Each structure stands twice: as C-alpha cells, then as structure tokens.
Chains A and B, each alone.
Chain A
Amino acid sequence: MNTSYKKSTLLWLITTLIVFLVAIAFGLTMRMEQAEMVKIGPLNFYVLMTSHGLLMAGVWFVAGMAGIEYILSTYFPVPRWGGMIAYVCTITGVVILLISTFLTKFHAGWYFLYPLPFYAKVMESGPLLFLVALTILGVGWLIWSLVLIFTILRNFTVAQALAWHHISGRPGPTVAPFILISFVSLIGVTACILAAVVLLVLYYLEFLKSGSMSNDPLLMKNLTFFFGHTLVNEMLYLGLAVLYELFPRMAGKPAYKTSWYVGLSWNATLLIVLFAYFHHLYMDFAQPVAFQFVGQIMSWFAPLPAACVTIFSVLTTVYRSNMKWSLASLLYFFGVMFWAIGGVGAILDAVIANNFVLHNTQWVPAHFHTYNLLGNVFFSLAFTSWFADEIGNKKIAPGLVKLIFSLLVTGGVGFVLAFYLGGAFSVPRRVDTYNDVVNKGVSLAQMAVVFASLYLVGMVIYTFDFTKRCARQLFS
C-alpha cells in the first residue's frame, strides 16, 4: 500500500485522539459544575455543552470516515484529494466553531434547535460564525463522502454495490460486506448532510432578514433531527463496516461473506434509518400521529437487520475460536456488547409511552453515551489499535492493554450508569445546576465525575502510547 494512505490515516487518527481528549475535558467540566465541585456559571456551562456535543459528533464521524477510506484503499485506489479537502475543512471548521463558542459565547447546543441560535448569543457575530463553521464542515464532509461513493461506483454498479445480486442469487462480482455497509452508510451520510445544507440555507436566509422569524419551527425541527440523528447513526455504521472487514481476521477466521441475509439486512437498514429520527419529535403533539408511529416502528425495527446480524456474526466468530485477544479485538467484541446495551436503552426510550416520562431526562445522554463512548468509540479505537500494530515499530505492552481496557470499561460503565439512574429519577438533561425538585442530580453528577476521570486517564494513556509508537511514521 502507498505510504501516503498510511500517513493521512495516521494524521486523522492523531487529530481525532487529541480532539477527543479536549472534548472529554469539556464534558468532565460540565459534570463537575453539576456536581457543585467547580463554579463556572451557566454561560460557560452552555458554551462547553455546545462545543462538547459538536466536537464529539464530528470527531467520531471523521474517525469512522478515515477508517473507511483506509480499508477502501486496500481494495481500490482512492483519490487523495477528497480526504485532504475534508481534513482542511475539518480543522478550519473546528477552529471557527471554537471561536464562535469560546470568544463570542455562542451557546445554542450542538443541534442548535431553531430558533434558539438567534437568541442564544452574546455577540451578534456568534450565530454567523457558528453557521459558517458548520458550512465549512458540511462542505468538506460532503465532498469526502461523494469521493468515496464514486470510488465504489467506479468498480461496481449501484445495484452491485448494494449487493442485490447476492440477495437474488444472480451471478455477479463478489461484494464484500465492507463495501456494502460502507456504500449504504455513505448514502445515509450524504442524505443527512444534504438535509443540513437545506437547514443552513434557511438559517442564512433568516439571518439576512436580521433574525425575524420566517421559518416553520416544526419543519426546522424535522430537518435538524433528520440531520443530527442520521449522522450519529451512520457514524456507528461506518465503524461497523470496518469491523466486518477486520474482526474475522483478528479471530483467525475466514473473511465474512455477503450472504443474502447480510445483503437484505443492510438494504433494509438503508431505508429504516432514514425514518427513525421521528422519535426525537414524539413530544411535539402537533406532529401528525402517523409520523410518530412511523418513528416508533422504525426505531424498533432498525436494530433487527443490522444489529441482529452483526451481533450474531460476532458471537459465532468468537465462540470456541481459540483466538488470541488483542486490544483491538477486545474493543471490537465488547464495543458490540455495549452497542447492544445502548440500543436497549435507546429502544426503551423510543416507546412513545416511555418517552412521555423519559424525554429530555438523563436517560437520553445515558443511551447515546453508551453506544458512542463504549460502542462507536471502541470501534474506532479498535481500528486505531489495529492500525498502530500495522504501522508501528513496537506492539503495545500486554500490561498496558489490561490497564487501558479496564479504565475505559470501568470508567465508561460507571459514567453512563449515573445517567441511567438520572433518567430513572427524572433528572433533566442539559441543566447547569439542579434545583430542589431534582436535586438527586448532584450526587449522580459526583459519581459521574469519578468515573469520567477514570475514562479520561485511560484515554490519556492510550493516546500517549499510540503517539509514541506511531507519530514518527508521519515524518518518515
């Protein structure tokens, strides 16, 4: 393989790990404020909340994309300029984003629910800088997605890339699950970025009218969650595509094949995932009830194809495999476990009758932190660990594997458990301090601070070790 692929992937991964540490520190500070251990005030709390959410969503999206690009380049030549434009746009976008939040104190939250950006500002330039940052990120990521899609389409037709011949049993080229899942996920990514483009254009038009409300709040909310929910969902699938490629190798098993049910599952996922976002609007009773029902039905059927097939495949791969475990394979295996657990938390919340008493409580960050912090992040760290073993001069020390894995799992589980308990005790999310009605939130935040600190220590050690083993390759 061309070393430029390795270098650019390495650059993405080092950038991702550093930004992740910064974003964890933001989140930890927020929990410390809620735990009454520090006093930063509501404005700084919401500035951190906005920055934390966007950095986390962005950083693990690009980590997933970097993994896809690297593995895809082992199949076909991938044009370099897509990833390079995305990298420049990501760095530029993140810098402008942090200027908008920390310097102009823009604090509308990562999904900037309309029309809050026109209210949650301290300086007039705040919302504009924020929108410019998102536009730059969106343009870079859209170009990257399209480059990867067209790389696949230079080698397969759309029908082949969707593995329709594997489903129907007709003859055709072999399409690896990695190609199928990447293609399905990249289509979803493109769809949600296009929704973000529409959303941003509507914001710009309103901004030009000096913020006099001219858009429909329900339409804007639908666009916001179509973009936000789908992006977060698809970035999980980007990680899974790489898992399908690497995990059987780690277990010493033959590569996974695209059987008819794998093909059917991911084609179903392509459609189902686009409609699950309706569950974010259950408490908007003005939304047609049919959409709400579609939201619950799709949210409950969504795990069937992708999750059931993946979970079953991973379990049967490991069962009596006599495999030698590495940090990468541990992270993949238990990442799938936590993804499943987070999925249970998610579908319980996706029951409309449950959502009536769980929506916007800490149950929400509980489940999404489970499948992100312990699922998606584990998938990307598994790829990162595998990649380090591929290009690094030395393997990671066995003692360090146990230490890092124990810290991440203990810290992560304790951290999300505090959120689940918060949901069970009706503690609201996204508040800087807890009033007397929901004061159980304080002690739960203290618990979260302890466990988040363990997770942070684990990530610091991981990042230090990864950088020490691989950074030299950047300049070789």
Chain B
Amino acid sequence: MTIQKEVFLVFILMFLIIVSVFFLVFLSSRRSGALQNVNSKRAIFFFIAFGTVSLVLGISLPKSPYFLYAKEAPAQRIFVVARQFSFTLSKSPINSADDLGKSAGSEFKLPKDEIIEFNVSSLDVNHGFSLYKDGVLLAQVQAMPGYVNRLRWKFSESGNYDILCLEYCGIAHGGMSAKITVE
C-alpha cells in the first residue's frame, strides 16, 4: 500500500472517531445532568494528546526525506533545471540557459538500484520536481531559482517514470512534464 493510502486510512479512522464522539455528545444533549470530574477528564484528554504528539514526532522526524541515503555516496549526480514549462536533465551542471544544449532532452535513462542525487533548480519561477510511477507520487522536491535542492533517490523498479511539475508555475503548468526510463 502506498504512503498516501495509509495516510488516507488513518484519516478516515480519525474522522470516524471524531464524528462518533461529537454525535454521541449531540445525542446526549436531549438529557440533563452535567459531566462529573471535568478537570480530571480534561487532564487525561490533554496528556493522551500530548503523549500521542510526542510519540509521532519521535518516530516520524528521523524519517524525513532530507536523510535519504545521506551516509552513502551517490552513484550519479543528475542536474535538473526547470523553466516555464519544461524540465531539462543533464549529467553536467546547468548554470544558465546557455548550458541547456548539453542536456539529453526531456527523456532520460537511469540505472535501477543505484543512488541517484538529483540537483534541482530553476531558471525562472518556482516549480516542483516530482517522480511518479504508474500514477503514484513517489518523491518530490521544489525547483527554486537561485538555489539547488538535492534529492537522493534509489529506483527499485525498472520501467517508465513520469516527472510532473507540482508547484503552480503559470499558464501551462498542468502540461509541464518529462519522462525517465529506469533499466
């Protein structure tokens, strides 16, 4: 199951819990009689919430994508430059529009099971560099002018991958894409 679908299921579970609690309290409003020991119940409610938050932070922060393969050396560095409304991928740095001729166009081949470091930037506005496989978003990073965002990724499956722009960048944003073939 994808991370997105796991998150969706957690959300639906929480949705049902919250709706149930509110609905039960709503139904109880037909009767009289105040809740007893409100302060102690509030304290329990707060400490459960505080504990949950601390637990989630402790587990999830180390899984942040900034640490993906951080201690390993990448097999390849791929330089990605976005501009309205295309991506250019190259094995050599692209510092300006003059360097775009060095690129391999919008279709690119990469090896499977090797760490690739994408060095992502933009020549004009903010864009989003995202990797899709069979319609599922696997990874992304922003493409920002004047900065290089480094994303390390290992393709575990061969096949075709789509790159879509995920940051609104202007009139043709919806059509801004490229392809990678992994083999």
Q: Which residues of B contact A361 (CB under 8 A)?
A: 4, 137, 166
Is there contact, CB below 8 Å, between A320 and B171? no
Q: Which B residues lie within 8 Å of A107 (CB)?
A: 170-171
Shortest CB distance B56–A (Å): 7
Interface size on B, residues (CB 8 A): 76
Q: How many Å lie between the Cα of A312 and that of B46 in the bound state?
A: 9
The interface stretch among A16-24, A129-137, A386-394, A422-430 is A422-430
Q: Which residue of B lies closest to A289 (CB)?
A: B66
Are A352 and B60 CB-contacts (below 8 A) given A289-B66, A315-B22? yes
A431 to B137, CA, bound (A): 16
The verdict on A437 contacting chain B, using a C-beta distance below 8 Å, is: yes
B53 close to A430 (CB less than 8 A): no
Known: A119-B84, A286-B149, A320-B33. A304 touches B50 (CB 8 A): yes
A297 to B31, CA, bound (A): 40
Given the contacts A289-B66, A296-B57, A437-B177, A420 and B8 also touching, CB distance less than 8 Å = yes
A217 at the interface (CB under 8 A from B): yes
Question: B50 near A357 (CB under 8 angstroms)?
Answer: no
Judge whether B126 and A217 touch: CB under 8 Å.
yes
Contact B66 A292 (CB under 8 A): yes
Interface secondary structure of B, over-half rule: mixed
A205 at the interface (CB under 8 A from B): no
Which residues does chain A contribute within 8 Å of B172, judged by CB atoms? 42
- CB of B145 within 8 A of CB of A217, answer yes
The answer, yes or no, to whether A2 is at the interface (CB within 8 Å) is no
Q: Report if A116 contacts B (CB, 8 A).
A: yes
Q: Contact flags (1/0) for A206-217 with B, using CB distance below 8 Å? A: 000000010011
How far, in angstroms, from A301 to B11 measured CA to CA in the complex? 18
Residue B30, interface by CB 8 Å: yes
CA distance A46 to B169 in the complex (A): 10
**Cβ contacts under 8 Å, A114 to chain B:** 126
Which residues of B are found within 8 Å of A337, using beta-carbon distances?
Answer: 18-19, 22
Residues of chain B within 8 A (CB-CB) of A360 are 128, 130, 140, 166-167
Interface size on A, residues (CB 8 A): 78
* A285 is an interface residue with CB less than 8 A from chain B: yes
Q: Are A437 and B162 in contact (CB under 8 A)?
A: yes
The segment from B34-42, B72-80, B88-96, B97-105 found at the interface with A is B34-42
Cα(A247)–Cα(B107), bound, Å: 59
Chain B residues contacting A42 (CB-CB under 8 Å) are 171-172, 174
User: In the complex the two chains form, is A322's CB within 8 Å of B11's CB?
Assistant: no
| B35 pairs with A308, CB closer than 8 A | no
Residue ID in chain B nearest A423 by CB atoms: B4
Whether, in the assembled complex, A150 has its beta carbon less than 8 Å from a beta carbon of chain B, the answer is no
- Quick check: is A321 within 8 A (CB to CB) of the other chain? yes
Partner of A351, one of B21, B49, B56, B84: B56
Question: A43 interface residue, CB < 8 Å from B?
Answer: yes
List, in ascending order, chain A residues with CB within 8 A of B42's CB: 261, 312, 316
Residue of A nearest to B175 (CB): A435
B174 CB contacts on chain A under 8 angstroms: 42, 431-435
In the complex, whether B65 has a CB less than 8 A from a CB of chain A is yes
Known: A352-B60, A353-B64. A286 touches B148 (CB 8 A): yes
B53 touches which of A43, A217, A301, A352 (Cβ 8 Å) = A301
A454 shortest CB reach to chain B, Å: 19
A113-B167, A116-B125 known; A284+B135 contact, CB < 8 A: no
User: Given the complex, which residues of A lie within 8 Å of B32, measured CB to CB?
Assistant: 320-322
B4 CB contacts on chain A under 8 angstroms? 357-358, 361, 363, 423-426
Query: In the bound complex, how far is the Cα of B141 from the Cα of A107, in angstroms?
Result: 23
Out of A221, A323, A357, name the residue touching B3 (CB < 8 Å): A357
- List B residues 135-150 near A (Cβ within 8 Å): 135-142, 144-150
Q: Decide yes or no whether A318 CB sits under 8 A from chain B.
A: yes
**Could you say which residues of chain B place their CB within 8 Å of the CB of A323?**
29
The CA of A113 and the CA of B57, in the complex, are separated in Å by: 29
CB pair A321 B45 closer than 8 Å: no
Among candidates A217, A348, A359, A430, residue contacting B7 with C-beta atoms closer than 8 Å = A348
Q: How far is the CA of A114 from the CA of B41 in the complex (A)?
A: 48
Which residues of the partner chain B approach A345 to less than 8 Å between Cβ atoms?
Answer: 11
With a cutoff of 8 Å between Cβ atoms, the chain A residues found around residue B14 in the complex are 341, 344
The reply to whether the CB of A319 lies closer than 8 angstroms to some CB of chain B is yes
Q: Which of B116-137 contact A (CB under 8 A)?
A: 124-126, 128, 130, 132, 135-137
Most A Cβ at <10 Å: residue of B4, B21, B141, B145:
B4
Q: How far is the CB of B13 from chain A (nearest CB, A)?
A: 9
Instruction: Give the CA-CA distance A440 to B5 in the complex, in Å.
Output: 14
Can you pick out 20 interface pairs between chain A and chain B where the beta carbons lie within 8 Å of each other? A43-B171, A107-B171, A113-B126, A115-B124, A115-B125, A116-B169, A217-B144, A217-B146, A217-B147, A284-B147, A321-B32, A341-B14, A359-B140, A423-B8, A424-B2, A424-B7, A426-B136, A437-B162, A437-B164, A438-B132
Q: A43-B171, A114-B126 are in contact. List 17 more A-B contacts (CB 8 A).
A: A115-B125, A217-B145, A217-B146, A284-B142, A285-B66, A292-B64, A300-B56, A322-B29, A344-B11, A352-B63, A356-B3, A358-B4, A360-B128, A360-B167, A363-B4, A421-B8, A423-B8
